[in-house]
């Protein structure tokens, strides 16, 4: 549990740093902002599944121009994940969760693997976001785990 909690702390930190970099860049790139929103919504989708709720109400690929709204989404995600993880015991990490994908296909995945997916998915897309910032001649932000660990 200690490792997962630490990795989730990194996720919250890295999400915040990416949002700060986007705000500083002043980007209006709709595809880039759609990607950032995708990360926030995907975090919500997986949390809903972990909580035994449906996720069909979420749309992963909508456009947005509102960084304030995105920041609120990420902050709410962090708050809800913290509560969820604090109530989670080590033995529960291997419990299987039944859920449906957004297209309705049934799946069963362990809590541990779902949390790993959330962590890795966000890091993958933060790399894409940083690359897009660089292509706009904006300054990418360091979001590597080791940078977080050195704080």
80 is in an annotated binding site: no
Rounded CA gap, 39 and 118, in Å?
Answer: 9
Confidence at residue 58, expressed as pLDDT on a 0 to 100 scale = 92
> What single DSSP character describes residue 66?
-
Contacts of 38 (CB under 8 A, 6+ apart): 60, 61, 125
Contacts of 23 (CB under 8 A, 6+ apart): 67
CATH architecture observed for domain 2-149: Up-down Bundle (1.20)
125 is in an annotated binding site: yes
Task: Evaluate whether 34 touches 106 at the Cβ level (below 8 Å).
Answer: no
Produce one character per residue of 54-84: b if its CB has 16 or more CB atoms within 10 Å, e if not.
ebeeeeeeeebeebeebbebbeebbebbeee
Could you give the percent of the chain with pLDDT greater than 70? 100
Task: Evaluate whether 23 touches 129 at the Cβ level (below 8 Å).
Answer: no
pLDDT tens digits along 2-47: 999 999 999 999 999 999 999 999 998 999 999 999 999 999 999 9
**How far is CA 124 from its chain centroid?**
10
pLDDT tens digits along 52-104: 998 989 999 999 989 999 999 999 999 999 999 999 999 999 999 999 999 99
10 is in an annotated binding site: no
pTM for the model stands at 0.94
């Amino acid at each position: 549990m200690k490792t997962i909690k630490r990795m989730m702390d990194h996720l919250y930190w890295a999400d915040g740093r990416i949002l700060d970099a986007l705000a500083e860049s002043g980007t209006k790139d709709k595809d880039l902002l759609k990607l950032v929103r995708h990360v926030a919504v995907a975090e919500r989708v997986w949390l809903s599944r972990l909580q035994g709720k449906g996720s069909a109400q979420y749309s992963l690929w909508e456009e947005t121009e509102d960084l304030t709204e995105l920041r609120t989404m990420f902050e709410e995600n962090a708050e809800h994940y913290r509560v969820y993880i604090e109530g989670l015991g080590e033995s529960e990490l291997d419990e299987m969760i039944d859920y449906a994908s957004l297209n309705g296909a049934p799946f069963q995945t362990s809590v541990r693997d779902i949390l790993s997916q959330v962590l890795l998915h966000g890091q993958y897309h933060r790399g894409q976001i940083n690359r897009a910032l660089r292509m706009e001649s904006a300054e990418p932000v360091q979001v590597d785990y080791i940078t977080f660990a050195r704080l």
